[in-house]
Amino acid sequence: MATEIETYPMPSFVTLVVSDIERSTDWYCNGLGFLEVFTMPGPGGAPSLVHLRWTRYGDLLLYPDRGGALAATPRGKGVGLNYAAEDVDQLATRAREHGAQVVEGPVDRPWNARELVILDPDGYRLVFNQLQRQGAGASFDDILAKASKGFERG
């Protein structure tokens, strides 16, 4: 039985231009666990847009790079797409099995998160954060002090 995917107005979403929309759709869905909401066919039936969802209001639209103009351009330089995750260790294993380039992690952060940073097939930076409970009860000042120690240069 097919799962019904909720439709709603999207208050914010990301669009990515990708070099191979079918490869990217497969990578996001099978490699990371995104759901395919819908695919809009274009000329000749090839996808002209794919709507994916990580979680409610965590939507992502993929567009094909028509004409290859972006092939030599760095993708998303300085921008990271951030997503909450239940288990970044499991996600890291799954992503590696699907050829993800792991930039960092999973690693514990001083702000009570376990984080995984990967690149998608086109070089877009994705950051997955898992809430850690070990800092429960710590004050915000304590968390900031712990985080700032990581930025000090020795």
Three-state SS across 98-135? Answer: CCCEEEEEEEEECCCEEEEEEECCCCCEEEEEEECCCC
Which stretches does DSSP call E strand in the chain? 14-18, 35-41, 47-53, 59-64, 80-84, 101-109, 113-119, 125-131
Q: What is the pLDDT of residue 66?
A: 77
Residue 32 near residue 85, CB atoms below 8 Å: no
Ordered by where they begin, the domains of the chain are: 11-67 (3.10.180.10), 79-154 (3.30.720.110)
Whether residue 61 has pLDDT greater than 90: yes
Residue 114 near residue 129, CB atoms below 8 Å: yes
Residue bearing tokens 């990580």: 54
Q: What is the pLDDT of residues 119-152, one digit of tens each?
A: 998 889 999 999 987 655 556 566 556 555 654 5
Q: What is the pLDDT of residue 147?
A: 55
Taking the whole predicted model, whether its pTM rises above 0.75 is answered as no
Q: What is the pLDDT of residue 3?
A: 65
C-alpha 14/C-alpha 59 separation (Å) is 7
Mean pLDDT of 8-20: 86
Look up residue 19 and give its DSSP letter: S
Q: Give the CA angle between residues 18, 20, 55 to the nearest 5°.
A: 60
For residue 82, the number of C-alpha atoms closer than 13 Å in the C-beta half-sphere is 8
Residues 6+ apart with CB under 8 A from 144: none
